[in-house]
Structure 1
Amino acid sequence: MATQARAVQRTARQSPYKMRLVIDQIRGKSVNEALGLLQFSKKHAAHQIGKVLRSAVANAEQAARAAGTSLDVDTLV
């Protein structure tokens, strides 16, 4: 079973539609690829999602000492 990590952003001042546009682009990608896509995206939501994704990676590394390159973006809600 793969290690799962969770990070939640509360009170996001962005519409769900605009966030979902960016999330759909990175769903299923590796963490490094997703962070690269977010870094060069012009959408404001990409910055917020990038912060949450980096937090989830840090949580996964802290919990299971997993390597950051072996993690995949599986579920984004």
Structure 2
Amino acid sequence: MEAVAKLRNNPTSPRKMRLLADLIRGLDVEKALNILKFHAKHSSVPLEKLLVSAIANWKLKNEGTRVEDANLTVKTVFVDGGRTLKRMRPAPQGRGYRIRKRSNHVTIVVDSKVVAAK
């Protein structure tokens, strides 16, 4: 049984967040948490919180099952563009340059990996 967690309007550009999402996609949950905890990019903090939230959602759906026994993995992570705030910055000779402050939406799906019995 899979569980989903969503983060909306995170004030980081989608391109920067996708770099971190690519690191944890398909990994074991414990390994993904360790990667995000010790990564230098500032986007790793909200992504780590989102992964913890997805794990908590999975626990609620699957009461009575331990996370360690379930062999949880990060099934999918995708980052979409959110709203863009448009700002003006002064430029030479009375002009104005447009600054686009981008945001993103992140969705994480966590699922238990099926271990084949031998």
RMSD of the alignment, in Å?
A: 0.9
Between structures 1 and 2, the one with greater strand share: 2
Task: State the partner residue of 1:59.
Answer: 57
List gaps (5 residues or longer) in structure 2.
Answer: 79-118
TM (norm. structure 2) is 0.61
Q: What percent identity do the matched residue pairs reach?
A: 39
Equivalent pairs counted in the alignment come to 75
Task: State the partner residue of 1:25.
Answer: 23
> One-letter code of the match for 2:62?
A
Moved more, 66-75 or 54-63: 66-75
TM (norm. structure 1) is 0.91
> One-letter code of the match for 1:73?
V
Aligned equivalent of 1:39, options 34, 37, 40: 37
Q: CA deviation at 1:67?
A: 2.7
**SS of residue in 1 equivalent to 2:18:** helix
Please give the per-residue CA displacement for 1:20-73, whole angstroms capped at 9, x wherever unaligned.
000101111100000000010001111110010000000001111343232100
- State the alpha-carbon separation in 2 of the partners of residues 48 and 17 from structure 1: 15
Aligned equivalent of 1:49, options 8, 23, 47: 47
> One-letter code of the match for 2:52?
R
1:72 aligns with 2:77: no
Large movers: runs of 4+ above 4 Å: none
Pair member with larger Rg: 2
Task: State the partner residue of 2:107.
Answer: none
